[in-house]
Chain A
Amino acid sequence: MYEAVHAHPDGQSTVARLAKTAARFGFEGVVVRTDSSTRAEFDADEVSAAYDIDVVTGVEIDANSVEQASGAVGNHRTDETIVTVSGGTPAMNRFAVENEKVDVLAHPMTDSGDVNHVLAKAAAENGVRFEFDLSGVLRTHGGRRVRIIQSLRKLEDIIDYYDAPYVVSATPRSHLELRAPRELAALGEQIGFSKSFIEDGLAEWGHLAERNRRIQSESFIEPGVKRGRYEEEH
């Protein structure tokens, strides 16, 4: 299971500290999705070797307009393993799900953002994952939390019907905000998601990273075509 984190200077803790804590909590990897304007400097291989955890480079594009976001996706797609787009407005949600270069539409239900059957169908077609952002459930309470839980339930109903892909994250911005997978699964059960739903969502980050690394590796030429030894007949 993987967790997608915001590292310093976007968050309060460095990649190394987040990876160290995540490894102790039982995660198999962390996806570093730092804001596109502030790059975190780190050596993924060094951190990965020191704490025995997979470190995936990524970016979260938080743009004011669709044009800006489109440019940023093009810029970062070749360098980063995972490209997420920060949702929360109807225009940005629509842009992300219709763009197959985007891996994940992050927090689609915040602010004025919403998801409907059109977006869910487009996301399923383009393989864009909706993110279930549990940070609001973990770190707010009262009326705000009620609305956040309602919006997550709605999202689950829609993506379940259209079989759209999804990821789950607690969106930690420091090592103190990290929560272990079992805690997230237990929390999910309380708000109406099954344990396996949460675990699959956390694992999906890892599948995404694995797929993108394969596509970006030098031996990959196009879908169905890769360089290497030919397969032996059985």
Chain B
Amino acid sequence: MKHLPKHLRPRWRYLAVELECWPDSSVDRRAFQRECWYAGQNLLGDPGGARADLSVLQFQFDATAGVGEALVKVRHGWSDEARAAIACIGEIDGEAVGVRVNGISGTIRAAEEKYLGRRGQDSEERHVVFGNEERVAVVRDGSVDVRLDAAFAGTTDLDYDDSDYDLA
């Protein structure tokens, strides 16, 4: 079909969303898209969810570090509603997730340039002493996620003395 004349095309806003999980969580674009739509539907209802749109246009996720970012398309004038819905995403596929809207732009390129691709994603494994026991931890930019028996603990390099850090 011939595309619409410019004045009839819907106007969009693009939300740059940053995601954070515990290390080794697998979150894919499809799961994130599903959670976005569910969150929109649950908070805004079917009509609100339909009008806000909330389609995921871009998605990157680094599973070893547990961080990622996404670009979500929202109808112009619905960015506050979309922001509220995205804030309600607490789990993706059963993995706990932290989300934050980094910024909003009127074009995809502006959102990419201003708000995406800025997080240092270099992560490495270290051995640390946490709770008097030696543990494996994933270190990224001063943040240290310690692997406990069944869960993780979120710490930073400030929580360790030199003698408890990097024992490998």
Contact = CB atoms under 8 A, between A and B. Distances in A.
B1 interface: no
Given A174-B96, A176-B21, A180-B100, A186 B84 contact: yes
Interface string B60-87: 0000000000000000000011011011
Interface string B13-26: 00000001110000
A212 to B, nearest CB: 25
B33 interface: no
Contact of B156 (A16, A137, A138, A189): A16
B129 interface: no
B111 interface: no
Contact of B151 (A12, A14, A138, A175): A12
B83 A182 contact: yes
Contact of A183 (B20, B42, B83, B90): B83
A47 B158 contact: yes
Interface residues of B, number: 31
A82 interface: no
Interface in A139-159: 139, 141-142, 145
A17 B139 CA distance: 12
B154 A175 contact: yes
A220 interface: no
A225 interface: no
A183 B100 contact: yes
A21 B154 CA distance: 11
A178 interface: yes
Q: Is the interface of A mostly helix, strand, loop or mixed?
A: helix
A17 to B, nearest CB: 4
A36 B84 CA distance: 33
A187 interface: yes
Nearest to A135: B90
A16 B158 contact: yes
Given A176-B97, A183-B84, A184-B87, A142 B154 contact: no
B154 A177 contact: no
B42 A142 contact: yes
Interface string A1-41: 00000001000111011101100010000000000000000
23 contacts: A13-B153, A13-B155, A14-B154, A14-B155, A17-B155, A18-B154, A20-B156, A25-B100, A47-B158, A138-B88, A139-B88, A141-B42, A145-B42, A174-B96, A176-B21, A177-B98, A179-B87, A180-B100, A182-B101, A183-B84, A186-B80, A186-B87, A187-B43
Interface of A: 8, 12-14, 16-18, 20-21, 25, 46-47, 50, 137-139, 141-142, 145, 174-180, 182-184, 186-187, 189-190
